[in-house]
Structure 1
Amino acid sequence: MNKRMADFESLIKSDYKNTAGIVVMQDGEQVYESYFDGYTFDDSLHVASVTKSVVSALIGIALDKGHIKSRDQKVLEFFPGYTIKRGEKTIQNVTIKNMLTMTAPYKYKSEPYTKVYASEDWTKAALDLMGGKNGVGEFKYSTVGAQILSGVLANATGRSVLDFAAENLFKPLGIKAPRNAAIHSKEEYSAFLKDKYVHGWVTDPKGTNTAGWGLALTPRDMAKIGQLYLNGGAWNGRQLLSSKWIEDSTQENSRWGELSYGYLWWIVGDKEHGCYAALGDGGNAIFVNPERKMVVAIASRFMPRAKNRIELIEKHIVPLFEGKP
């Protein structure tokens, strides 16, 4: 190992201690893979909000296959049995695109995780929170709200989110499909977030997979998803996802202050480089740099206020594989 690489790995161990694994792809080839803190290539971790970006891909596949007619379809079309609360009109105008761009309105100030995850039907609980006085079109980042997209997928395809994902995304990419991981209590929820080794894709008591968090992947799995996007949706000669969907998903569709947002993907770094990322709490990231044909996947154990992984990638990882001083 050369000195620059040794210095880099020392930096990870000292400043990014909760990092479990890093995989770097360049020009379609794996150029780096390393694991820390006792983890191996076989260990999956909870990737937190990276789950949202995977669900975005599944919405795109459902559109490609005709299960969903348009991203402009109203969300409530997929829940014909849902009863709107009296006097609530805003929710009727919310589209799938609003859900993807975090521009749907909600009635809460801070996310009521406990209330939603203590309910029997997390999708219905999220629908009950939607609407209120704020208009459609204002950015409001919502993890509990993203759950509605799982309901949309399940109702549109007639299958569980996991089954649809296994057939149309995981299996073609050579990703071992996770099992369902049911959460029944606050203690189980906490354990899934904090345990060193976790597996599966969280479901609510009705068996609906989560959309905002709750998926466990390995760094290799994450890198494959990034590479699929870098490839414009193609994998081993097969188009798994339309290139147009990827293009639309990874350009600015909404803004949160100075941050740009696509379809459940963050637009990061210098705009002219076209970089984008799936980001999850604790330091999980799938970073794609189309200009350099590079994908960086980082899986991390949960910790509050983890150091910025985009800064780590752009300052330390990209230069390491570009031969820059």
Structure 2
Amino acid sequence: MKGPLLFAGVVAISLASAQAAPLHEAGLAQAQPEDANVDSHELVRLSQWIRDEKLDIYSLLVVKDGKLIFERYGAGASRDSNYELYSVTKSVTSMVAGMLIAQGKVSLDDSVATRLAAWRPDLRADFADKRNVELKHLLSMSSGLHYDFRPKDDPIYYAAPDRLKLAAETSPKAAPGSQFEYTDINPILAAAMLSAAAHEPVEQYAQAKLFGPLGMKHAVWERADRSGLVSAGWGLRLRAVDMAKIGMLVLDHGRWQGRQVVPEEWIAQMTSPAVAPYFGYYWWINNVVQSEPEFDAMGFKGQFITVLPKRNTVIVMTSVMSVDGGLRDAKNLQQFRHMVNGYVIPALDNRRHAQPSARARAQMDRELAVSAQTQGIPGAQVDPTDMPR
């Protein structure tokens, strides 16, 4: 990606900060860690480790029992900032797919060729060899389609005026459903199929049926191509508190404040193994924590929504961290695993039986004040789209 390397100062905002915008409009309650039986000492240690490692983290949130108990921002971000989520977009798309399926507007068994040849008759010939590729194969990353990605600045991300045409021109290399291969051709086809099913752009459907009902301020789905099609794989921008709501939907089986927004059956299905044991329908399974049930959404450069059902906890992070190491071994993922397993889970375990106290609150406030003066160093090249808005 193009763009200058930027240094981002870490700005940490505690729950006690008078500068923090009120949470009532976000639909989230708040509490001090010990009020939720969480050891703030471990979270303070985590913040110190982040400073020591000079990690460029824009936001880090922990929600326990529906209450925001830890909230840390950096790089000039705030509670109202939104972020480029990269592939976390896929996980949100999966929820949209489940809603459309429940309405009977599309089926997991719908053929890419049948649905999209009708939607884009000009590409009918290109879709002819994809009759056996179905929506479920796109969502489980098992379409078997081959695309020759360029090492840098591939046109599907940047310059292609019509991404769907590029996706339509791909060739089958494996039987659909036979093997897992994570490729960003699939979410382009998925965005088109869902838009066709909704009879409106997928981002407009998502705004009306998901973002709006959950009070997601500043939600925007960008980076459409010249034809107006967004990708289901990147381009969505949400606030960290709204990312937390996505995780809370998973925790509460698709309900938000008592209202069923995403079908309960779909939440279970999208977080169950499909073709790969660690991947459902655009949701990862035990990718961050392996010792207990865990689901997560994961995006390029270190964007995460991690759901711990056993602990009724959601962890959210946005950042610019190293992408070295590949999809499931990237350095940013390794660092996030360390943060969750080494600090957040011990905090949730509260082995010290820490109790609410003015001292604990003061210690956290002091640490976050120090963090506010600490600069993080990006672990990857920073693009304009990466900056909080």
Find out whether 1:34 has 2:72 as its counterpart. yes
Matches within 5 A, 1:124-273: 124-129=165-170, 131-137=171-177, 138-179=179-220, 200-255=221-276, 260-268=278-286, 273=292
Find out whether 1:298 has 2:317 as its counterpart. yes
CA spacing shift, 1:27–1:202, aligned 2, 3 Å? same
The match for 1:64 is 102
Secondary structure in structure 1 of the residue aligned to 2:217: coil
Residue 14 of structure 1 and its aligned partner are, at CA, apart by: 2.9
Between the aligned partners of 2:164 and 2:234, the Cα distance in structure 1 is 13
Letter in 2 for 1:300: S
CA spacing shift, 1:177–1:93, aligned 2, 3 Å? farther
Q: 95, 102, 108: which is aligned to 2:134? A: 95
Between the aligned partners of 2:126 and 2:99, the Cα distance in structure 1 is 32
Any conservation in 2 of the 1:170–1:177 contact (CA below 8 Å)? no
Any conservation in 1 of the 2:217–2:239 contact (CA below 8 Å)? no
Q: 64, 73, 90: which is aligned to 1:52? A: 90
Between the aligned partners of 1:241 and 1:50, the Cα distance in structure 2 is 17
Secondary structure in structure 1 of the residue aligned to 2:166: helix
The match for 1:194 is none
The match for 2:111 is 74
The match for 1:21 is 59
Note the alpha carbon deviations across 1:3-33, whole angstroms, 9 max, x for none: 5333210112233612111111111111111
Letter in 2 for 1:40: S
Percent identity reads 29
Secondary structure in structure 2 of the residue aligned to 1:254: coil
Residue 324 of structure 1 and its aligned partner are, at CA, apart by: 3.4
Residue 203 of structure 1 and its aligned partner are, at CA, apart by: 1.0
Gaps of 5+ in 2: 1-13, 15-39, 325-330, 353-389
Any conservation in 2 of the 1:111–1:142 contact (CA below 8 Å)? no
Between the aligned partners of 1:250 and 1:151, the Cα distance in structure 2 is 23
Residue 244 of structure 1 and its aligned partner are, at CA, apart by: 0.7
Between the aligned partners of 1:237 and 1:145, the Cα distance in structure 2 is 33
CA spacing shift, 1:115–1:201, aligned 2, 3 Å? closer
Letter in 2 for 1:54: V
Between the aligned partners of 1:240 and 1:145, the Cα distance in structure 2 is 25
Between the aligned partners of 1:162 and 1:50, the Cα distance in structure 2 is 15
TM-score of the aligned structures, taking structure 1 as reference length: 0.85
Between the aligned partners of 1:15 and 1:227, the Cα distance in structure 2 is 29
Note the alpha carbon deviations across 1:72-108, whole angstroms, 9 max, x for none: 111222212132349x63x110010000100001223
The match for 1:186 is none
The match for 2:297 is 278
Note the alpha carbon deviations across 1:241-294, whole angstroms, 9 max, x for none: 111101011011122xxx610000000156673211000111110000111111
Between the aligned partners of 1:271 and 1:8, the Cα distance in structure 2 is 20
Residue 134 of structure 1 and its aligned partner are, at CA, apart by: 2.1
Q: After TM superposition, which residue ranges in structure 1, 4 or more long, deviate above 4 angstroms?
A: 269-272
Letter in 2 for 1:233: G
Any conservation in 2 of the 1:23–1:296 contact (CA below 8 Å)? yes
Residue 54 of structure 1 and its aligned partner are, at CA, apart by: 0.6
Secondary structure in structure 1 of the residue aligned to 2:176: coil
Letter in 2 for 1:281: F
Q: Matched residue pairs, number?
A: 298
Any conservation in 2 of the 1:150–1:208 contact (CA below 8 Å)? yes
Instruction: Work out which of the two has the higher radius of gyration on C-alpha atoms and give 1 or 2.
Output: 2
Note the alpha carbon deviations across 1:46-83, whole angstroms, 9 max, x for none: 11110010111110111112211x21111222212132
The match for 1:118 is 159
Between the aligned partners of 1:3 and 1:314, the Cα distance in structure 2 is 15
Note the alpha carbon deviations across 1:129-156, whole angstroms, 9 max, x for none: 2x33322221110123311111011111
Any conservation in 2 of the 1:26–1:293 contact (CA below 8 Å)? yes
Secondary structure in structure 2 of the residue aligned to 1:103: coil
Any conservation in 2 of the 1:18–1:303 contact (CA below 8 Å)? no
Provide the aligned C-alpha RMSD in A.
2.2
Secondary structure in structure 2 of the residue aligned to 1:12: helix
Kindly indicate whether structure 1 or structure 2 has the higher relative contact order, using CA contacts under 8 Å at least 6 residues apart: 2
The match for 2:125 is 84
